[in-house]
Amino acid sequence: MGYGIEEDELRQFVEGLYSDQTRARVRALLDWYETNGAAPDPETKDELFLRSAIESSVSYRWAREISLDEKVRQRAELARQRFVDALDELGKTTVGTLSKIFGNGVGLIETRKGKLWQCEEVERHLLEVLQPLDILLEKTPFRLTDRFIPGHFGHVAVWMGTYEELERLGLWNHEIFDESRYQVYRDLVRDGHSVLEALRTGVELNTLAEFLNVDDLAVLRPVYLDEEEIPETLIRAFRQVGKAYDFNFEVETTDTIVCSELPYHVYTGVDWQTDEQLGRFTISPDHVAAEALTESGPFELVLLYHDGRLIDAAEDLSLMRRLSKQA
């Protein structure tokens, strides 16, 4: 949806390719080509190249050599794939619905506020340190949902940067902001909504003050990105806004996203670690944190708050490693 691609477009393309109408049209064109255009005389360099491109293509052989038996087999395979996909979608819908009911119920239980909640000094410090595309990892042991998330950290968000920072990067001149919904996102950033996160209500932009209802906070900075890659990575992040929450926790879906899948889809240059659970691949917040635990990783740890306290820079990385092992 971030690119205006509708559901099942790939399936419609494949079925259109294998339709009798398409096959007949291609066959008619090839008949003309073989009669009139296969061997022009004299042949120019461009004509030689064109003939080579046509005759070496898969479509050329496909249209010439297809038999009735092959057509029947292809149609049967397409029907089988539709049936298997429908069963798979039914299973995902069932699991997702149960997960949504459970998650929404458990998500309401919060025993207290976080130790960084409404701490203006922490917020000022973060605004001085944060740069566009920094990753925010948090721990909220006072929420019941935190008990069901593997590892130490329980949530991931992306800091998009301030309005002025994005203006200096020339981001607001990108053609995407000609669209009305992206103009709304620009206005939200102007009003301080620079935290991109996937909540149960969907992927949205929130303020840093709203995000700081936490006990632990780690900031990771992408060090593998070139300066030229930053604007397009930010645009890719904006494309996630408005997507539904992924109650199936499957990284291979692009229309629904859980919090830890945001980095997976935004930072496409990273070889992310995933786990296979119940036949699907998932990524946890600690998988994201792991990318900053080595000196040669794609991210570096910029700062760490633990149990409401800022950890000294000389100790923060070793503490992150211990927290990950303990989890």
DSSP string, 257-322: E-TTHHHHHH-TTS----EEETTEEE--HHHHHHTTSSTTSSEEEEEEEETTEEPPTTTHHHHHHH
| Average pLDDT taken over every residue of the chain | 86
Residue 210: is its pLDDT beyond 60? Answer: yes
Are both 196 and 317 inside the same structural domain? yes
Are both 148 and 221 inside the same structural domain? yes
Over residues 194-220, mean pLDDT: 95
The C-alpha atoms of residue 126 and residue 292 are separated, in whole angstroms, by: 19
Asked if 303 and 129 touch (Cβ cutoff 8 Å), the reply is yes
Q: How many domains does the chain have?
A: 2
The C-alpha atoms of residue 263 and residue 236 are separated, in whole angstroms, by: 10
Asked if 324 and 294 touch (Cβ cutoff 8 Å), the reply is no
The per-residue pLDDT for 66 is 66
Are both 95 and 166 inside the same structural domain? no
The per-residue pLDDT for 215 is 96
Are both 133 and 237 inside the same structural domain? yes
Question: Would you say residue 113 lies in a domain?
Answer: no
**CA neighbor of 202 nearest in space, from 116, 137, 262:** 262
Asked if 158 and 257 touch (Cβ cutoff 8 Å), the reply is no
What is the per-residue pLDDT across 21-37, written as a single tens digit (0 to 9) for each? 887 888 888 888 888 76
Are both 31 and 162 inside the same structural domain? no
Are both 51 and 179 inside the same structural domain? no
- The residue segments making up the domain with residue 76 are 9-106
CATH number at 292 reads: 3.90.1720
Sequence letter at residue 295: E
What is the per-residue pLDDT across 55-72, written as a single tens digit (0 to 9) for each? 888 878 777 766 656 777
What is the per-residue pLDDT across 252-291, written as a single tens digit (0 to 9) for each? 888 889 899 999 999 999 999 998 876 778 899 999 999 9
